[in-house]
Structure 1
Amino acid sequence: MDSIKVTGGHRLNGVIPISGAKNAALPLMIASLLTADELILENVPHLADVESLIRILTNHGVDYHVEGKRRAHNGQQGRNIAFTAGEIVDTTAPYDLVSKMRASFWVIGPLLARMHKAKVSLPGGCAIGTRPVDLFIDSLQALGAKITIDGGYAVAEATGGLTGADYTFSKVSVGATHVAMMAATLAKGKTVLRNCAREPEVTDLANCLIAMGAQISGAGTSTLTIEGVEALHGARHRVLPDRIETGTYAMAAAIAGGEVLLKGAQASLLQNALDVLVRAGVEIEEKNDGIRVMRNGHGIKPVDVTTEPFPGFPTDLQAQFMALMTQAEGTSTIRETIFENRFMHVQELARLGAQITLDGQEATVHGPSALKGAQVMATDLRASVSLVMAGLVAEGDTTITRVYHLDRGFEHLEQKLSACGAAVERISA
């Protein structure tokens, strides 16, 4: 099993190209099930989750091919993948595939919309919380689907197709918004979805579906209106830049010091997080080709944050921000409101010398801490990269194990950091 070794004490200076967003690419790939025509997605990142979803889609009968290398607008090599679901040969998503990635459950929406039936394994537990699928099932039932749970599977049927409805989500959910929106594009009549997630990845999916012929209004707001159409057609769509990767490298530059250009990044996708970094004493400058992040010679100020749905501070940047606050000159408080079990990285940061106390869903970080390298273990995707960040300023070597978590969401992390002067290397077992 691979591990990553980080030798602390190196500033970051240079250019880091920002990849396509994993959280946008996955629902966009699943949208290919809605049409028999070819859907071409540009700027798809090289990630373990993308490869896992490709295996799930091919199980349903989706053909795909990777186009030859294309140089993206921001100067990095983009990967373009064409998906064609000409004939869906299997409407079952088995446990051995779905259990590897929760987002694969989302195929239930397009399969119901197009094939009027689906049998999808329940995704099971998750390290950062239960993340139940109740909202998915409830919204699809509102569109006329009959869904039962049998043997660990959601068995869904919509004889004659789905029907438009006026539905309000009981809580904001990005995944459930994705699924209900995709399903409603082929439903008969008008669907109004209320209390929807407003994340940029939801808007990106809506824009792609519109390019495929869907009639959707309200993207980026809490209310989506979808007029169902008989069929969708093919399209070409570019995956937006990854705001979580952007925020992660911005915080890496802040903790290590130096000056980094995050090439291709869009500030509007994570303005709240950038504002928090400015309050912490980091210099942020929006450029035509990305975002420049600088911290030269001055300390980090403590800042209190609370994770919230977009446009608030992202839960997916909470662990990274906690690593940064270990170096702040004072005490900061981080309150997690999205997931109930997302502080598992605290114990691993403590192994490096961080001074953090927990009280339920609130962590108090006492800084600055003199971190020292040690062996630590990644517990989930975002926690893994927070340990890499802590390693950038720790004395000596930090070895992070179980980095398969990291490979799910960060493309070429070692190469990107090393190109800016960090001492980061992958060690293959």
Structure 2
Amino acid sequence: MDKIVITGGRALKGEIEISGAKNSAIKLMALCLLTDEPLELTNMPDLMDTRSMAQLLEHLGVKHARGPGARMTLHAPDLAHTEAPYDLVRKMRASFNVLGPILSREHKARVSLPGGCAIGARPVDLHLKAMESLGAKIDLVDGYVVATAKGGLKGAEITFPFVSVGATEHTMMAAVLAKGETVLYNAAREPEIIDLANCLNAMGAQIVGAGRSEIRINGVDKLSGVSHAVVPDRIEAGTYALAAATTGGKVRLANVRSDHLGALWPLIAQAGAKVTMDETGVVIERNPKSRLRPVDVETQAYPGFPTDLQAQFMAMCCLADGVSIIRENIFENRFMHCPELIRLGANIKVTGREAIVRGVKELRGAPVMATDLRASASLIAAGLAAHGETSISRVYHLDRGFEHIEVKLGNCGARIKRMKE
């Protein structure tokens, strides 16, 4: 098992190229199940999660190949199976989203329920209720969802009781081949949903309203193959932006959609870092000799502040000159990084969904343990700013969502290396 070792206390200086979005790429890969023609995805990140998804798709009968230039081709002329087994689905929660495409194409599917999640329960009941609204019969048998739709799925009006990115995406994928019109109310508005809709529309789907709370989908008989570029990863961009603000220095983030992080930039500026944008990038700059300022934040559904940046934001606040209050509204158990930050010298008190962060003058390196993907990134940022050596174990979490993080940071002057434990 690998660990990341950081000798901190050095400002970051340089440029970081942002990869394709993990949260978009995984769902885009599943679209190959909806057509018998090849699907080509460019700007594809090479991550543990994308490799896990490829393994599951291969089991289902999808032929896939990696090409140069972050390119992946997926082709499913026929499906070998309509069952997604537990051993493959448990590796990554998002793989459950193959249910809708298989059901839409083959009118039947048997998919394992996903495993638990370290940052919250995240039940799939919204997904299943949406499939039932589209005319599917759903049974739960021995830990599997058994879904059938004789004659195919049918359009419906579906109102989500609360905003769910996964349920919105999953329902979109199922509804594109359904007969008639599907209308989604209280839909999630994330950029990854727009990316999914753009790819589906290029394949021949008829989706209007992605990025708004009401999405209309007119079912079509067939989808074709297409070449589509994965949207840049806003969470990776935000992570490196916060790391640069935490350590000080000057970092340019290339291949960034700055409009996808509208809730973040003002908060970084409020904390004392300068944010400059151009057509393809964002520059984060802060004098490492100046103290950061405290900032309060609460996570919200898009376009609010993303929960996937909460832990990284907290790492920055640990060095602020004052008290920051961070409220987590999305997941009920997303403060597990706090005890590890405290090991580095942070002063954090958690009460329910709120964390009170009293800034300290410096952090000190120590052995810490990653608890989930985004918590891993917060420990990286804190370790970069801390004096001395920080050793981060269980970095397999990190490899799920960050491509070559030690290389990208190393190119900006960070003393960071990957080692065997």
- TM score, norm. by length of structure 1: 0.97
| From 177, 180, 187, the counterpart of 1:186 | 177
Tell me if the contact between 2:309 and 2:374 (Cα under 8 Å) persists in the aligned partners.
Answer: yes
SS at match of 2:301: coil
Aligned counterpart, 1:217: 208
SS at match of 1:249: helix
Q: Report the AA paired with residue 207 of structure 1.
A: N
After TM superposition, list the pairs within 5 Å mapping 1:131-150 onto structure 2. 131-150=122-141
User: For structure 1, which runs of at least 5 residues remain unmatched after alignment?
Assistant: 71-78
Aligned counterpart, 1:74: none
Deviation at 1:229, TM superposition (A): 0.3
Aligned counterpart, 1:166: 157
In 2, the alpha carbon distance for the partners of 1:428 and 1:50 equals: 23
Q: Does 1:341 align with 2:330?
A: no
Aligned counterpart, 2:353: 361
Aligned counterpart, 1:94: 85
Deviation at 1:280, TM superposition (A): 1.1
Tell me if the contact between 1:354 and 1:371 (Cα under 8 Å) persists in the aligned partners.
Answer: yes
Deviation at 1:368, TM superposition (A): 2.5
In 1, the alpha carbon distance for the partners of 2:143 and 2:266 equals: 44
Aligned counterpart, 2:268: 277
Q: Report the AA paired with residue 247 of structure 1.
A: G
| From 259, 283, 290, the counterpart of 1:268 | 259
SS at match of 2:330: coil
Tell me how large the CA RMSD over aligned residues is. 0.7
Aligned counterpart, 1:413: 405
Aligned counterpart, 1:29: 29
| From 356, 362, 384, the counterpart of 1:370 | 362
Aligned counterpart, 2:376: 384
Aligned counterpart, 2:46: 46
Deviation at 1:281, TM superposition (A): 1.4
Deviation at 1:369, TM superposition (A): 4.4
Q: Report the AA paired with residue 62 of structure 2.
A: V
Aligned counterpart, 1:235: 226
In 1, the alpha carbon distance for the partners of 2:318 and 2:31 equals: 41
In 2, the alpha carbon distance for the partners of 1:286 and 1:265 equals: 10
Deviation at 1:393, TM superposition (A): 1.4
| From 100, 110, 113, the counterpart of 2:104 | 113
Q: Does 1:287 align with 2:301?
A: no
Tell me if the contact between 2:38 and 2:225 (Cα under 8 Å) persists in the aligned partners.
Answer: yes
Aligned counterpart, 1:17: 17
Tell me if the contact between 2:14 and 2:251 (Cα under 8 Å) persists in the aligned partners.
Answer: yes
SS at match of 1:272: coil
Q: Report the AA paired with residue 405 of structure 1.
A: H
Aligned counterpart, 2:420: 428
Aligned residues: 420
In 1, the alpha carbon distance for the partners of 2:361 and 2:220 equals: 58
Aligned counterpart, 1:80: 71
Deviation at 1:289, TM superposition (A): 2.8
Deviation at 1:120, TM superposition (A): 0.5
Deviation at 1:365, TM superposition (A): 0.2
In 2, the alpha carbon distance for the partners of 1:80 and 1:12 equals: 30
SS at match of 1:9: coil
| From 286, 297, 303, the counterpart of 1:305 | 297
In 1, the alpha carbon distance for the partners of 2:376 and 2:348 equals: 17
Tell me if the contact between 1:333 and 1:363 (Cα under 8 Å) persists in the aligned partners.
Answer: yes
In 2, the alpha carbon distance for the partners of 1:153 and 1:369 equals: 52
Tell me if the contact between 1:354 and 1:369 (Cα under 8 Å) persists in the aligned partners.
Answer: no
Aligned counterpart, 2:236: 245
Q: Deviations over 1:289-344 (max 9, x none)?
A: 31111012432111110100100000000000000000111000000011010000
Deviation at 1:288, TM superposition (A): 2.5
Aligned counterpart, 1:7: 7
In 1, the alpha carbon distance for the partners of 2:265 and 2:237 equals: 10
User: For structure 2, which runs of at least 5 residues remain unmatched after alignment?
Assistant: none
In 1, the alpha carbon distance for the partners of 2:353 and 2:138 equals: 34
In 2, the alpha carbon distance for the partners of 1:277 and 1:393 equals: 16
Q: Deviations over 1:138-170 (max 9, x none)?
A: 011000000011100011000100000011011
In 2, the alpha carbon distance for the partners of 1:213 and 1:333 equals: 46
Aligned counterpart, 1:352: 344
Q: Does 1:57 align with 2:57?
A: yes
Tell me if the contact between 2:203 and 2:223 (Cα under 8 Å) persists in the aligned partners.
Answer: yes
Q: Report the AA paired with residue 307 of structure 1.
A: T
Deviation at 1:370, TM superposition (A): 2.2
Deviation at 1:348, TM superposition (A): 0.5
Q: Report the AA paired with residue 229 of structure 2.
A: R
In 1, the alpha carbon distance for the partners of 2:177 and 2:271 equals: 47
Tell me if the contact between 1:145 and 1:158 (Cα under 8 Å) persists in the aligned partners.
Answer: yes
In 1, the alpha carbon distance for the partners of 2:388 and 2:86 equals: 43
Tell me if the contact between 2:107 and 2:150 (Cα under 8 Å) persists in the aligned partners.
Answer: yes
Aligned counterpart, 1:103: 94
Q: Report the AA paired with residue 254 of structure 1.
A: A
Tell me if the contact between 1:355 and 1:369 (Cα under 8 Å) persists in the aligned partners.
Answer: no
- TM score, norm. by length of structure 2: 0.99
